[in-house]
Structure 1
Amino acid sequence: MNFQQTIDFLYAQLPMFSRDGAVAFKKDLSNTLALCKVLDNPQERIRTIHVAGTNGKGSSSHMLAAILQQAGYKTGLYTSPHLQDFRERIKINGALCTEAFVVGFVKKIRPYLASIQPSFFEITVAMAFQYFVDNNVDIAVIETGLGGRLDSTNVITPEVSLITNIGMDHMDLLGDTLDKIAFEKAGIIKQNIPIVVSEFLPETKSVFEEKAFKENAPIFFSQEIFKVEKSEGHLSNLFVWVKENGHAATIKYELDLPGIYQRKNLLGVLEVVHQLKLKGWSIQEDHISNALKKVKKLTGLHGRWELINANPLIIADVGHNEDGVRQIMEQLKNTSYRHIHLIIGFVKDKDISNVLNLLPKDATYYFTKAQIPRALNEEMLSTLATARGLKGQSFSNIDAALSLAKRNYQEGDLILVCGSVFLVAELKA
């Protein structure tokens, strides 16, 4: 098989959460461990950082990878889902893994698929571990897919772990309260391994503390260690002034990720870097500041309050759950525009009622869907949204929605695309 045939095979033959939903979610780590055993346990032969959270884990993973690259380390990065190219999931120093490797890996493990019956995600996790071993990375940043305790990535013993934040998402799989979801995310906390928490709530802090105590893991809450003195957001960058407790100096950071929600992610990243330095990793302040200015260039990150086009002004954000959309709404308060055109689509296995309640009533809406089986029908979305006072039209695909939004656009307006990672992917495509 060539590369495209190999990818088609993976998509067609294996359960895939992004496409199929809960049926693809496995309730234990046995498949991942079985796959890794076939490969002589590559996860045990790389040094890693493990990142979990409801929102912010992708941005935080890319920031950490950029900083490590800037410090001169050969850095692997595993994230999901991809926007356009499958190989976006597995990178080294920002470069996609090779097509030849993907083809060879699938050929190698294919004889074991019938007995192990892995999911799409389980295969990609094992694939990433093998690629990083084959290429002798110094360290790899590993982002969880869903949850933490039972996530396929949770077979590593990292240098340090990071939990970004906890919000109401995937409740059908992770639990219907914040403390239950926090329990699943806290599953990445390992014996004696430092754990950093970017953001906590009263309902979640004790969950993390109890798990850390049980594992004898030093725990660090970054919002108690650092304080954002002020921040300034622009269309293409964000300036954040950070002060560490017990230090007189305030350090100014420039991020090429302009979403103001990156302030919280930044604090977690800074504490992870501090923990790495305590373990002997050589990372200087200029490595941090220089890397944060060019995270997208160093790692290829997309879809976080991303400027797609200047005129008409089009911005895309992969925020899709309640917390993510709340952060987008906060960003809008700091953005100048005459009128907003909102192109939205969601997946059908999520309760979006709270999300819809957050959206502005005075926007013009374009209800649409991504071209995947999990997508919520645009007419159904329109009905749900109309009941909440959101007015607009329905479109069977994002191209049609964007076309009308552009025709309706006037000078000073903003076109925003959000609600689904897969919708943003189709916009960029």
Structure 2
Amino acid sequence: MSTLPTTLPAWLALIESRHAVTEINMGLDRVRAVKERMALAFSCPVIMVAGTNGKGSTCAMLESILLRAGYKVGLYIKPHFLDFNERARVNGDLASDEALVASFNVVEAARGDTMLTYFEFTTLAIMHLMANSGLDVAILEVGLGGRLDAVNVIDADVSIVTSVDIDHTDYLGDNREQIGYEKAGIFRSGKPAICSDPVPPKSLIDYAEGIGADLWLMGRDFNYSGDKQQWNYGGRSQRRNSLAYPSLRGANQLLNASAVLAALEALKLELPVGAQEVRTGLVTVELPGRFQVLPGRPTVILDVAHNPHAASALNQNLGNMGYHPYTFAVFGSMHDKDIDGVIKAMSEHVDHWCLATLPSPRSASGSELAAKVQLIQEDRPERTVNIFDDPAQAFANAMSRASENDRIVVFGSFLTVAGVMAARKSALH
């Protein structure tokens, strides 16, 4: 038996090296077996969040409100931008390297000869860390799909599906009915199952009803109304009026916030939350890389929109921002995404494309992206298209060409946004 790593970077390198080939390995039998050997269980309410888009925002709002209410909150969210520790938050703080290493050791000891993917191994470790942190509530974001995601070896007390759209077609299916079925896999019989998609797939409703989950649908069991100043939530037995808009910008945030308040209504006996805590939690919530507008000029927007549904929301948000003479796009994508759909959704606002190859074997090359842009956006005579080896170079080019009244939107894969975040961080030091 070789000695185990003692630092977090060494541990992550080891887990990555074990699974260089199969990044995703669907099925829960292996994870469940290791979970049982670890005796992994939560002694507090668990809220699980799945969906094509809006998962991160929903988790962040839940965390913000529950922290304001004085609860000890654990949050598992992914992927990370700069540091792995971003995936595990306890009471609003990133988990320490030492705590993560200790949990990695526990998973390794329980694993025996069971092979786990990087995602499965790290998910079990973070859930172990949280289950042993004396939490009042745990919020777990589902990675891919739902039914076969490693997080789903835990039974949630409340499950939320935010939106159902086309993404990860290789694993989840190529239509909303198939994908809805996968997302609904996080629902449990007798437990609140909340869906904030205004037009939920029939498969999701059928699945929830088939297992006897307590299904909460937007428009039927809960809803929202609002004007320019404030908004109101109405649930089954709880109204919350005169709420501030969430500090997260964007068109879909009231759908996400309504699902958050439905979850809190469903848990009101276990985790009571006052009106002022809801207001303050919504106003102070932060989430990097989701229509994040950076201070300074030119205006820089970071958004991890990597499918057409998210890109059209981003496009709508750009349209609501006021006048900018030119918009530069720093864009990179994995080649298995609907790249044409993303470019089409964004082409209305983009004048200059800075296209980046990403540091991943799954990346579409800058030249592939350029060919697609040329086909889709032929009608804009002053448009420019440039290709770069990485997001940092693409961003540097955009910064050098943009005037202070222009804007730069960095979007696409997490790796696009992370590359620009890292470049900005090193420039500041």
Residue from 288, 291, 305 that aligns with 2:291: 305
Which structure 2 residues correspond to residues 99-248 of structure 1 after superposition, within 5 A? 99-111=97-109, 113=111, 115-201=113-199, 204-224=200-220, 225-231=222-228, 240-244=230-234
Equivalent pair of 1:307/1:315 in contact (CA under 8 Å): yes
Match in the other structure for 1:280: 270
Q: Does 1:36 align with 2:35?
A: yes
Q: What is the identity percentage for the equivalent residue pairs of Structure 1 and Structure 2?
A: 27
Q: What residue in structure 1 maps to residue 3 of structure 2?
A: none
1:193-249 per-position Cα deviation (integer Å, ceiling 9, x unaligned)? 011111132xx3422221121121111113442233234xxxxxxx65225279998
Q: C-alpha offsets along residues 306-345 of structure 1, whole Å, 9 cap, x if unaligned? A: 1224212111011111110010011011012221011111
1:114 deviates by 6.2
Q: Residue 306 of structure 1 contacts residue 315 of structure 1 at CA under 8 Å; is this kept in 2? A: yes
Residue type of the alignment partner of 1:75: V
In the alignment, what sits opposite 1:57? 55
Within the alignment, does 1:374 sit opposite 2:340 as a pair? Answer: no
Distance 1:228 1:162 in 2: 20
Gaps of 5+ in 2: 1-5, 379-383, 423-429
1:240, 1:263 within 8 Å by CA — same for their partners in 2?
A: no
* Contact residue 194 and residue 219 of structure 1 kept, 8 A: yes
1:2 aligns with 2:7: yes
The answer on whether the counterparts of 1:166 and 1:200 sit within 8 Å (CA) in structure 2 is no
Cα offset, 1:253, TM superposition? 1.6
Residues 208 and 125 of structure 1: CA distance in aligned 2, closer, same or farther (over 3 Å): same
Distance across 2 between alignment mates of 1:152 and 1:248: 35
1:408 to 394, 398, 401: 401
In the other structure, the counterpart of 1:398 is: 391
Q: What residue is the counterpart of 1:356 in the other structure?
A: 343
Query: Conserved in 1, the CA contact under 8 Å of 2:106 and 2:125?
Result: no
Change (3 A) 1:127 1:56: same
**Cα distance between partner residues in 2 of 1:304 and 1:263:** 14
| Structure 1 partner of 2:307 | 321
Aligned residue for 1:314, secondary structure, equals strand
Structure 1 residue matching 2:181: 3-state secondary structure: helix
1:341 maps to 2:339: no
The 1-side partners of 2:109 and 2:239 are apart by 60
Pairing of 1:59-78 with structure 2 (within 5 A)? 59-78=57-76
Unaligned runs of 5+ in 1: 232-238
Does the CA-based 8 Å contact 2:107-2:124 persist in structure 1?
no
Name the CA shift for 1:230/1:360 in 2 (closer, same or farther; >3 Å). farther
The CA deviation at 1:113 is 4.9
Corresponding position of 1:265: 256
The one-character-per-residue Cα deviations of 1:270-320 (angstroms, maximum 9, x if unpaired) are 11111111x432111111111111112xxxx31111122421211101111
Deviations 1:81-112 (A, max 9, x none): 11111111111112111111222232333355
With over 3 angstroms needed to count, the CA separation of the structure-2 counterparts of 1:282 and 1:112, relative to structure 1, is: closer
- 1: CA distance between counterparts of 2:82 and 2:10? 16
Which residue number in structure 1 is paired with residue 381 of structure 2? none
Q: Which residue of 1 aligns with 2:412?
A: 419
User: How far apart, CA to CA, are the structure 2 residues paired with 1:249 and 1:154?
Assistant: 31
Q: Is the 8 A contact 2:156 2:186 kept in 1?
A: no
SS at match of 2:261: helix
- Encode CA deviations 1:62-97: one digit per residue, 9 max, x unaligned: 111111111111110011111111111111112111
TM-score by length of 1: 0.90
Residues 1:371 and 1:249: Cα distance change in structure 2 (over 3 Å): closer
CA contact (8 A) 1:222 1:271 kept: no
Contact 1:49 1:160 survives alignment (8 Å): yes
Q: 4+ runs of 1 displaced by more than 6 Å?
A: 245-249
For 1:294 and 1:275, the matched residues in 2 are separated by 23
Equivalence for 1:13: 18
Contact 2:232/2:239, CA 8 A, preserved across alignment: no
2-structure distance, mates of 1:323, 1:70:
32
CA-atom RMSD, angstroms? 2.0
In the alignment, the residues of structure 2 paired with residue 249 and residue 276 of structure 1 have an alpha-carbon distance, to the nearest angstrom, of 15
Partners of 2:308 and 2:338 within 8 A in 1 = no
In the alignment, the residues of structure 2 paired with residue 107 and residue 160 of structure 1 have an alpha-carbon distance, to the nearest angstrom, of 30
